[in-house]
């Protein structure tokens, strides 16, 4: 029997205990022996719970107990998760975490410590919740040159955008509703501003390239500026708007990566990924497109991924499994060099603006909605740098006439 400790008895931590209990035989068979939770570290007591006798408040008890070989970190945040995980690895214990903030910020160092101490630092649950995507990257797709990873990696924002699309509701209304239903956090900034997706695409990029990625170098834009009106245009164009985290890896190893709302056509593999679900498209140079779909968050799906990590650690109790990335830094190209088509909403009537639009943006498709004092255009493909220049030229022309210019811009993959 292998003894484990769970640090953090919140939603995911209690889910891990539930999966280990519910699937005890299945887990024992896969791991080669039973996994028993000996300690649960939490600030709180749970006097009426069946795990009441396992609750401890002092981390030292876990760190110093040599019987503990496996540790689950489901506390979230960086402090004390980072020092605790580091200490566990240094004490020769394997760690499985669901904490993407920890992996994105300290993954390089923790992976290195795990290698040195012949243990494992696993984090399948940190990206895509219950969707297996980390392990496929270092196992099934190991022989591939990964060319692109594009994901809908945040359930909260996907739920909000789906509701806005289906019900014609505003961002604020749907966010409030999502908070009342408990889907969105009271402080939803990390989700709606794209920070959560940014950390996840940084982790996936590091997995794909084998190099460390500084998530702060990834251009990140959230969904707070997307309006119900944008969806009216999208509907007319047969498209949808999704929050993408994307990483494109060139032949030369150079990477362009971004997080942003993107207008996508019906033929895009991620178009049908709706509600709280996540979807991840991974393109390999030999295999082509592969898609991973499922519950990107939630108690049992996320706990299931943590338990899979525990099983892999149990199967490799005395060795480090080769995975993750090294200390070499991955350069991320500036966003200015990334190319898209662009959807814009422009004030006024197309008839009056046609020449200025062509002068600045070249050939465009025009989209008009009935009864609106504005119109939409879809540009040809250009770099972000070229697009910014075109926008500032257009704003200049508008200003000369004392008129308002650009009401909205959304990158488009159509
Ligand atoms: N807040 C995240 C989401 C949780 O909505 O997807 C999973 O990381």
For 21-32, the pLDDT digits (tens) are 999 999 999 999
- More confident site: 186 or 113: 113
Whether residue 185 is annotated as binding a ligand: the answer is yes
Ligand 1 pocket check for 282: Cβ under 6 Å: no
Ligand 1 center to 170 CA (angstroms): 21
For 322-364, the pLDDT digits (tens) are 999 999 999 999 999 999 999 999 999 999 999 999 999 999 9
Q: 404 pLDDT exceeds 90?
A: no
For 41-70, the pLDDT digits (tens) are 999 999 999 999 999 999 999 999 999 999
Q: 183 pLDDT exceeds 80?
A: no
Give the C-alpha separation, 154 to 152, whole Å.
6
Of ligand 1's atoms, which has the minimum distance to the CA of residue 157?
5
Ligand 1 pocket check for 74: Cβ under 6 Å: no
Whether residue 10 is annotated as binding a ligand: the answer is yes
Ligand 1 center to 311 CA (angstroms): 24
For 71-118, the pLDDT digits (tens) are 999 999 999 999 999 999 999 999 999 999 999 999 999 999 999 999
User: Both tokens of residue 51?
Assistant: 């795990």
Ligand 1 pocket check for 98: Cβ under 6 Å: no
Q: 36 pLDDT exceeds 80?
A: yes
Quick one: pLDDT at residue 178? 87
Of ligand 1's atoms, which has the minimum distance to the CA of residue 278?
6
Quick one: pLDDT at residue 107? 98
Ligand 1 center to 155 CA (angstroms): 5
**pTM, to two decimals:** 0.97
Quick one: pLDDT at residue 185? 78
Quick one: pLDDT at residue 184? 79
């Amino acid at each position: 029997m292998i003894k484990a400790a769970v640090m953090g008895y919140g939603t995911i931590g209690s889910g891990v205990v539930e999966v280990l209990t519910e699937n005890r035989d299945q887990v024992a068979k896969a791991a080669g022996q039973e996994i028993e939770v000996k300690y649960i570290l939490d600030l709180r007591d749970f006097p009426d719970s069946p795990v009441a006798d396992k609750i401890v408040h002092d981390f030292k008890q876990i760190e110093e107990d040599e019987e503990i070989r496996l540790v689950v970190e489901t506390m979230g945040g960086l402090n004390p998760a980072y020092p605790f995980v580091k200490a566990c690895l240094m004490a020769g214990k394997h760690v499985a975490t669901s904490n993407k903030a920890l992996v994105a910020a300290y993954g390089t160092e923790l992976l290195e410590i795990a290698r040195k101490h012949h243990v494992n630092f696993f984090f399948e649950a940190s990206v895509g919740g219950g969707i297996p995507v980390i392990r496929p990257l270092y196992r099934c797709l190991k022989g591939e040159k990964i060319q692109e990873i594009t994901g809908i990696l945040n359930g909260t924002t996907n739920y909000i955008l789906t509701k806005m699309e289906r019900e014609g509701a505003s961002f604020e209304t749907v966010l409030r509703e999502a908070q009342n239903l408990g889907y969105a956090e009271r402080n939803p900034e990390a989700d709606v501003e794209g920070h959560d997706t940014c950390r996840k695409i940084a982790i996936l990029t590091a997995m794909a390239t084998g190099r460390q990625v500084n998530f702060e170098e990834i251009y990140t834009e959230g969904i707070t500026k997307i309006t119900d009106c944008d969806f009216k245009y999208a509907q007319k164009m047969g498209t949808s708007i999704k929050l993408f985290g994307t990483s494109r890896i060139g032949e030369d190893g150079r990477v362009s990566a971004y997080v942003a709302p993107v207008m996508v056509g019906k033929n895009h593999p991620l178009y049908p990924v709706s509600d709280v679900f996540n979807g991840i498209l991974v393109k390999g140079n030999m295999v082509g497109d592969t898609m991973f779909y499922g519950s990107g968050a939630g108690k049992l799906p996320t706990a299931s991924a943590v338990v899979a990590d525990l099983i892999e650690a149990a199967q490799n109790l005395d060795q480090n499994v080769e995975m993750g990335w090294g200390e070499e830094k991955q350069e991320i190209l500036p966003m200015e060099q990334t190319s898209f088509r662009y959807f814009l909403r422009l004030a006024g009537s197309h008839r009056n603006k046609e020449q200025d639009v062509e002068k600045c943006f070249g050939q465009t498709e025009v989209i008009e909605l009935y009864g609106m004092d504005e119109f939409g255009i879809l540009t040809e493909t250009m770099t972000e740098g070229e697009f910014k220049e075109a926008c500032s030229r257009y704003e200049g022309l508008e200003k000369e006439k004392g008129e308002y210019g650009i009401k909205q811009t959304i990158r488009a993959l159509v």
